[in-house]
Amino acid sequence: MKKYFFLFCLTLLLIPTICFSTDDNPKFTLIAAGQSNIDGRCAYESRPDYLQEGSIPYCYINRNSKDGKFTAFALENRWAFDAVVYHHLSRVLQEDFYVIKWSQGNTSIDAKGANNRHWTPHFNTLDSIEQSLLMNFTEAIQACQNNKTANLDIKAFIWHQGEGDRNVSERYYNNLKDLIHYVRTLVGKPQLPFITGTYAHNSGQYRPTVEAALLKLASEDPNMYVVDLSKAELMDRYHFNAEWSEYFGEKVFNLLIECGALDAEPIPIQIP
């Protein structure tokens, strides 16, 4: 309990006064983060037919930026499963919605994991705060909330990560639990739905300990939702191919409905 109290107090210190728009119609908003499979590794040419124009109507995103500004969503040279989620949201909502996203490939939660950039909420374990992806994400969320032209209603947190913690996998359960708690506290929603997926068992970075930790946490948290991607096919040693990325996005969209974040009819889905 002391650990969570410390995290809660630290988060409160980080949160500035939030200025909302006088708009009485709060806008559907998602936050999204993680490593390469949400950062985007599928080639532009492999996108589904409904993404052929490379843009998604009504969707505005702030990606890896702390300026608090949103731009119209457009695919660049690669895409991830979340683009599929945004397409279906656009189709259903038929009005502007927002995404706040921070992602970087080959990164860990744990300060001793892959790369030198980390998602840990235990900032004191980092050699430098410059290594903190979570601090960047925090500042991005705060800046967007302070954007007076938007009135954000954060509905869910989409996440995919874990391979970067393969060498410190025994700590993944506590690390992810603390991260989820931190973000929910940050946005002031202790029951914010957290939606993620497992990992392809044929990935060169798969570790069963990481997957077991993820599933154990999901079994304990009624507001955590997990897509089974254990049989996913890859386009290389690590990344979901286009068909499985589309499947993942479709499942996430249906989970937004299941968790109550979205009022819509689920879409039919077939495993690739």
Of the pLDDT bands very low, low, confident and very high (cuts 50, 70, 90), residue 103 is: very high
Q: Are 11 and 186 within 8 A, CB to CB?
A: yes
Pick the more confident residue, 11 or 170.
170
Q: Are 51 and 178 within 8 A, CB to CB?
A: no
In angstroms, the CA 259 to CA 92 distance is: 16
Query: Is residue 18's pLDDT more than 60?
Result: no
pLDDT attached to residue 76: 86
- The CATH class given to the 23-258 domain equals alpha beta
pLDDT attached to residue 3: 52
Tokens 């154990």 — which residue? 216
Q: Which residues, at least 6 apart from 51, have a Cβ–Cβ distance to it below 8 Å?
A: 75, 79, 83, 84, 87
In the chain, what are the domain boundaries? 23-258
Q: Are 69 and 62 within 8 A, CB to CB?
A: yes
Q: Pairing state of beta strands 42-43 and 152-160?
A: unpaired
pLDDT attached to residue 21: 39
pLDDT attached to residue 150: 86
Query: Is residue 6's pLDDT more than 90?
Result: no
Task: Determine the average pLDDT of the residues in 170-194.
Answer: 98
* Out of 7-16, 127-136, 206-215, 227-236, least confident range: 7-16
pLDDT attached to residue 8: 45
- Nearest residue to 121 (alpha-carbon basis) of 171, 162, 181, 63: 181
- Tens-digit pLDDT profile for residues 19-67: 333 457 899 999 999 999 999 999 999 999 999 998 999 999 999 999 9
pLDDT attached to residue 16: 40
pLDDT attached to residue 2: 45
- Tens-digit pLDDT profile for residues 205-245: 999 999 999 999 999 999 999 999 999 999 999 999 999 99
The verdict on pTM exceeding 0.85 is yes
The token pair at 194 is 């957290």
The mean predicted confidence, pLDDT, of the chain is 93
**HSE-up of residue 30 (Cα within 13 Å, Cβ side):** 27
